[in-house]
Amino acid sequence: MWRYAVRRVLQMVPVLLGTTLFIYVLVFALPGDPIRALAGEKPLPDSVYQALRDHYHLDDPLLVQYGRYVFGVLFRGDFGETFNGQSVGQLIADSWTVTAQLAATAWLFELVVGMSLGVWAGLSAARRGGRGGGTRRGGFADAAVLGGTTVAIAIPSFVLAYSAQLVFGLKLGWFPTAGTDAGWPMSYLLPGMVVAAAELGYVARLTRTSLVENMRADYVRTAVSKGLPRHRVVVRHTLRNSLIPVVTYLGTQIGYFMAGSIIVEGIFNLPGIGHEIWLALQIKEGPTIVGIVTFLVLVYLFANLVVDLLYGVLDPRIRYD
Amino acid sequence: MTETPAIRRERDEPSAAVPAAATAVAGGELGGGAAASLWRDAWGDLWRRPIFWLAMAIMLVMSLMAAFPGLFTSREANDRCDVQFAKRPPASWNPFSGADHPFGTDVHGCDYWAQVVHGTRAPIVIGFAVTALSLLIAVTLGSLSGHYGGWLDALISRITDVFFGLPLLLGALVVLTAFPAHGIGAVVLALGLFWWTSMTRLMRGQVIAVRDADYVQAARMLGAGDVRIMVRHILPNAIAPVFVFATLNVGVVIGSESTLDFLGVGLQYPSVSWGLQLREAQNIFVDYPYLLAYPAIFLTATVLSFLLLGDAVRDALDPRLR
Amino acid sequence: MTVTASPNPTPGAPLLAVDDLHVEFRPRGRTVHAVNGLSYELREGETLAILGESGSGKSVSAQAVLGLLDSPPAFITKGEVRFRGTNLLALPERRRRTYRGAKIAMIFQDALSALNPVHRVGDQVAEMLRVHRGLGRSAARERAVELLDRVRIPSAAARAGDYPHQFSGGMRQRVMIAMALALDPDVLIADEPTTALDVTVQAQIMRLLAELQDELSMGLILITHDLAVVADVADRIVVMYAGRAVEEAYVEDLYARPAHPYTEGLLASVPRVDRRSAALIPIPGSPPSLAAIPPGCPFHPRCPRARGRERCATEVPELRTVAERDEAARRSACHYAEEVLPDAVRTS
């Protein structure tokens, strides 16, 4: 297990360097003036312009620039500054708790609702199709879950966000429509559901497929031949194996929450990291966007690493390769 | 599986005097014809599924709207708009009532039906262009990586890892923020840049699987060159799953494109797209819900059609169902 | 035959009797006749081999005995499976479960996929004891190590904590056997237990099975496609073709004088040390599709003796006694079995 963990961590290094280099080159080294491009349509006063050029050391050789940048990002948490001089790192430090609460809420929805729906549909499909019945359509539960999740996946999250705000917030008044005044969990329930909706569909489908696949595995037949009661066959010999890919998938969702939080925090006015990007996008404030997204990518890569390690713990076959 | 009854055997050519020795071959008989018959079977299964036809119908209508908007509306995009008549809700929720503006008018006073019809082209074109671009990258890199292995494989795989490390939306967001242009080409590039990674991994795996197949080894021993083996033997057999994956995920690209438009980093006015229409509707949707509803319905239906097609094809391709 | 369960079975009465078993698969509206009227009996302490090509219904019939087939797509349309006189097919699932593993155990061809990859092998063996015998965790564990030791897994105590993929193919099959023997079953069904293994390992596993069977005096059903595997260990052989038994005989009789043209063909198509000079003759054609079994004798399209005989193409031959050694010892499902028998005598 330790060798596996060390190898995974080492594999991260080139990806980390490559990703940051990529963002860096893209933003600061492309032909044209990066400061003007980042500023977008907003005209920059000359003093600000020269300050930004100096700040980013744009007259140094590219690799030196990158070295300084990556050192700053990785060891000093320096993700650059906003136009009005606030450090992006500080911005993130001030707002990450909101995003974390939103992500936790959404993640819980995915975990509980997504997996339950998947297991419900999977068992329904398996009952109809038998242990070797394949992915054929099962009973009502299966059809309902498949249909419902397909629609949930197809609706763009910003449409869903506005509709939810309109119906459950304004018309029915069940949840607050914006802000975090009501605290956790009340303020986070509706946005959490919206962030989770599409991914919840994927989780339910993955759980279902994985369950049905596992139902026809040879070792499930062995479990039946051992004379084990049905619930034991299902729980210990089918669910335990089926949930490995689902748990892995749920782990990689952290990255999705980051992107999802931009839209949902923006629409529900939750002052998190995504909201900062949302605001920066409204006024086309490039350095802030790039700084925060770099941070989010690092979080995403780190989450993936944790998931990989978790996978090694859950599936004994992985860690001995 | 220890032994499946010989359900598929009837399709095998009954050749004369096959030595059916006492040591019968257990299980899989996947010869060269098996792959072809799998696709033929899948088609036979597909066309009996109503879901498949529903998906195809939506796609056909959307493709027609994208290619020939003139069939659906007499107006051009942003044509004959009058701010005086801005934000007029449709006279009736029935779009076939024969009213002047069946979908009402938008914030600029343009006919909303015409705008929504013209809004079809950008997402559809971007969806397919991103898919084609990614396929091109994936097939090239995946083939090189899988076929030659060694340092080339290592290099390509690491590069793939790097791009895989950037989630599609976040990556495209950064690229478009830094990018000076915001036309269709820029959006295609930004999305395509992050969309090829899974396909490349899939292609590489396919090529490796096919490369080691007996019939490719045989061709190599007969002295066929690298290019010939690649073009004649490996590509045709390895490309199908990658192609299917790419096609079924066009819907995801379309959804992402709309999100970028909505966030304001994608297409810009005077371009017309569903994402932009939704962006315009965002602050006034409480009073004018139809501005949100119509493009949302079109967008959702399009994404849904690819999802439904994906479900149908996956089911049809699963030979264990037979 | 009586259908009542008796606690003290009369000696010589069959331990397990399969009677006129029919199994169909109905995937998507089609019907595949996998087993079509299979009958055999297994006695105490006996080793019965079921021989057939893939698709002959041998594995399906074994899974039907234990109730492992999924319905749908599989349906047992007719027949009985009697264990010590109790018809298992008529039992409710709850009671039938108590026979699985405890009275009748099964091992499978591919032990790697048959063992659960995410549980330690010791736990998988111990699970039998915990569920059926209600043993505690440590007691079950201890007993599992004993069982692993009994199937000659070196340093069993340490290896009980390993996962299936950490074992070699032969060792994995030993784990399967240990698991199957955990509850001292009366019948062990081994479905192609050595097919996935190297030849030398095959021999070891077969020897282990034979020794354990002797030690525990269980009935052993050995399902195989390979004549050579069963020659040494089996007492009797049932030859299956297209879901039916076509011949049933003592091993030595079958080798010396096959009573069915299919058996004859099988013997002619494998190399044999005792007939070195004879050329190998393959059976022409291929086994029939189970969705469209030929009318009459299912073997007639491939049978050299059926040429020009209308009866073979129209009338299904019954499995009938063709020669006596003891009761039901020698049966063949060929209209012209008598013609086959003396032939074989002449050539051997």
The DSSP symbol for B25 reads P
Q: Indicate if the pLDDT at residue C101 is higher than 60.
A: yes
Cα–Cα distance for residue pair B31/B211, rounded to 1 Å: 15
Nearest Cβ partner for A218 among B1, B162, B278: B1
- CB crowding C283-320: b at 16 or more within 10 Å, else e: bebbbbbbbebeebbbbbbbbebbeeeeebeeeebebe
CB atoms within 10 A of CB C22: 18
Annotated domain spans of chain A: 2-88, 96-320
Cα–Cα distance for residue pair B186/A70, rounded to 1 Å: 27
Asked which of A45-54, B107-116, C118-127, C172-181 is least confident by mean pLDDT, the reply is A45-54
SS3 at position C241: strand
SS3 at position C75: strand
Neighbour order of strands in the sheet with C47-51: C104-107, C187-191, C219-224, C47-51, C236-241, C244-250, C331-332, C320-321
**Mutation site for A-interface testing, chosen from B51, B168, B170 by largest number of A Cβ within 10 Å:** B170
Q: Highest mean pLDDT: which of A67-76, B57-66, C257-266?
A: B57-66
C184: exposed, middle or buried (C-beta count within 10 Å: 0-12, 13-18, 19+)?
Answer: exposed
B198: exposed, middle or buried (C-beta count within 10 Å: 0-12, 13-18, 19+)?
Answer: middle
For residue B264, the chain A residues in CB contact (below 8 A) are: 281-282, 284
For residue B24, the chain C residues in CB contact (below 8 A) are: 52-55, 225, 287
For residue C302, the chain B residues in CB contact (below 8 A) are: 20
**Tokens representing residue A152 in the block:** 């949930």
Cβ separation of C55 and B21 shorter than 8 Å? no
For residue B307, the chain A residues in CB contact (below 8 A) are: 150, 153-154
Supply the pLDDT for residue B78.
79
Cβ separation of B174 and A259 shorter than 8 Å? no
Cβ separation of C60 and B16 shorter than 8 Å? no
| Between B112 and B45, the higher pLDDT residue | B112
Nearest Cβ partner for B258 among A11, A146, A156: A156
Cα–Cα distance for residue pair B171/B178, rounded to 1 Å: 11
Cβ separation of B162 and A296 shorter than 8 Å? no
Could you tell me the CATH superfamily of domain A96-320? MetI-like (1.10.3720.10)
Annotated domain spans of chain B: 23-321
Q: What is the CA radius of gyration of chain C?
A: 21
> Which residues on chain A place their C-beta less than 8 Å from a C-beta of chain C?
128-133, 217-219, 221-229, 232, 236-237, 240-241, 244, 314-317, 320
Cβ separation of C55 and B9 shorter than 8 Å? yes
First-to-last CA distance in chain C?
38
Tens digits of per-residue pLDDT, B139-197?
999 988 988 888 999 889 888 888 887 788 888 888 888 777 788 999 999 999 999 99
**Torsion angle, alpha carbons of C111, C115, C120, C124, to 10:** -110
Find out whether C66 and C189 touch, Cβ atoms under 8 Å. yes
Fold of B23-321: MetI-like fold (1.10.3720)
Q: Which amino acid is at B244?
A: V
Strands C219-224 and C187-191: parallel
Closest B-chain CA to C24: B5
Cβ separation of B300 and A156 shorter than 8 Å? yes
Counting one residue from chain B and one from chain C, the pairs whose CB atoms sit within 8 A come to 96
User: How far away is chain C from the Cα of B23, in angstroms, using its nearest Cα?
Assistant: 5
**C26 touching A (Cβ < 8 Å):** no
**Tokens representing residue C172 in the block:** 């994995």
For residue B289, the chain A residues in CB contact (below 8 A) are: 166
Annotated domain spans of chain C: 235-348
ipTM over the 0.90 cut-off: no
**Tokens representing residue C54 in the block:** 């893939």
**Torsion angle, alpha carbons of A234, A238, A241, A246, to 10:** -80
Q: What is the mean pLDDT of chain B?
A: 79
Cα–Cα distance for residue pair A181/A199, rounded to 1 Å: 27
Tens digits of per-residue pLDDT, C107-165?
888 878 888 888 898 889 888 888 888 888 888 898 889 888 888 888 888 888 888 88
Q: What is the total residue count of chain C? A: 348
**Tokens representing residue A308 in the block:** 């990989």
Cα–Cα distance for residue pair B158/B144, rounded to 1 Å: 14
For residue B5, the chain C residues in CB contact (below 8 A) are: 25, 32, 34, 55, 57, 60, 290
- Asked, as a colleague might, if the bond just before A185 is cis with ω within 30 of 0, I would say yes
Q: What is the pLDDT along chain A (321 residues), one digit of tens a residue?
A: 778 888 888 888 888 888 888 877 777 655 556 666 666 666 677 777 777 777 666 667 777 877 887 788 777 777 877 777 788 888 888 888 888 889 888 888 988 999 899 888 888 876 654 443 344 456 778 888 888 888 888 888 888 888 888 888 878 878 887 777 777 787 888 999 998 887 888 889 888 888 888 887 888 888 888 888 888 888 888 888 888 888 878 877 776 777 778 888 888 888 988 888 888 877 777 778 878 888 888 888 888 888 888 877 777 776 654
Cα–Cα distance for residue pair A70/A64, rounded to 1 Å: 10
Find out whether B190 and B211 touch, Cβ atoms under 8 Å. no
Supply the pLDDT for residue B9.
27
Cβ separation of C195 and B9 shorter than 8 Å? no
Q: Indicate if the pLDDT at residue B321 is higher than 80.
A: no
Q: Indicate if the pLDDT at residue C2 is higher than 50.
A: no
Closest A-chain CA to C123: A236
With a CB cutoff of 8 Å and minimum separation 6, the contacts of A256 are: A199, B167
**A290 touching B (Cβ < 8 Å):** yes
- Asked, as a colleague might, if the bond just before C72 is cis with ω within 30 of 0, I would say yes
Give the bridge partners for C332, in sequence order. C247, C320
**C92 touching A (Cβ < 8 Å):** no
**A49 touching B (Cβ < 8 Å):** no
Cα–Cα distance for residue pair B210/B204, rounded to 1 Å: 10
Find out whether C224 and C34 touch, Cβ atoms under 8 Å. no
For residue A26, the chain B residues in CB contact (below 8 A) are: 174-175, 178
Nearest Cβ partner for A166 among B255, B264, B289: B289
Find out whether C69 and C63 touch, Cβ atoms under 8 Å. yes
First-to-last CA distance in chain B?
15
**B299 touching A (Cβ < 8 Å):** yes
Supply the pLDDT for residue B282.
84
Q: Indicate if the pLDDT at residue C219 is higher than 80.
A: yes
User: How far away is chain C from the Cα of B17, in angstroms, using its nearest Cα?
Assistant: 4
By C-alpha distance, which of C13, C58, C301, C312 is closest to C190? C58
Alpha helices in chain A (DSSP H): 2-24, 34-39, 46-55, 62-76, 88-109, 115-129, 140-154, 157-164, 186-215, 218-225, 230-234, 240-268, 273-282, 286-314
Alpha helices in chain B (DSSP H): 32-46, 50-67, 112-118, 121-148, 150-164, 168-178, 184-195, 197-211, 214-221, 226-228, 235-248, 250-263, 274-281, 289-317
Supply the pLDDT for residue B4.
33
The DSSP symbol for C294 reads P
Residue the block writes with tokens 């890919």: A245
Strands C16-25 and C32-42: antiparallel
For residue C32, the chain B residues in CB contact (below 8 A) are: 5, 7
**pLDDT-above-90 percentage for chain B:** 25
pTM beyond 0.90: the answer is no
- Got the DSSP string for B246-280? HHHTHHHHHHHHHHHHHHTSS--TTS--HHHHHHH
Residue the block writes with tokens 């030791």: C149
With a CB cutoff of 8 Å and minimum separation 6, the contacts of C61 are: C18, C21, C23, C34, C35, C38, C50, C240
Find out whether B58 and B315 touch, Cβ atoms under 8 Å. no
Mean pLDDT of C199-205: 83
Cβ separation of C225 and B23 shorter than 8 Å? yes
Cα–Cα distance for residue pair C193/C208, rounded to 1 Å: 11
Fold of C235-348: Rossmann fold (3.40.50)
**Tokens representing residue B297 in the block:** 């319905």
SS3 at position B317: helix
**Tokens representing residue C90 in the block:** 């008529």
**Mutation site for C-interface testing, chosen from A218, A225, A230 by largest number of C Cβ within 10 Å:** A225
**Tokens representing residue B12 in the block:** 């095998």
Closest C-chain CA to A218: C114
Closest B-chain CA to A165: B286
Phi, psi of C320 (to 5 degrees): -130, 160
With a CB cutoff of 8 Å and minimum separation 6, the contacts of C209 are: C177, C188, C190, C193, C220, C222, C233
**Mutation site for B-interface testing, chosen from C54, C225, C272 by largest number of B Cβ within 10 Å:** C54
Give the bridge partners for C50, in sequence order. C223, C238
Angle between helices B197-211 and B235-248 (to 10 degrees): 150
C147: exposed, middle or buried (C-beta count within 10 Å: 0-12, 13-18, 19+)?
Answer: buried
Cα–Cα distance for residue pair C333/C39, rounded to 1 Å: 12
**Tokens representing residue A158 in the block:** 């910003």
Nearest Cβ partner for A320 among C99, C114, C166: C166
Neighbours of chain A (3+ CB pairs under 8 A): B, C
The DSSP symbol for B7 reads G
Cβ separation of A255 and B170 shorter than 8 Å? yes
By C-alpha distance, which of A144, A126, A133 is closest to A204? A144
With a CB cutoff of 8 Å and minimum separation 6, the contacts of A292 are: A79, A88, A91, A92, A273, A276, A277, A280
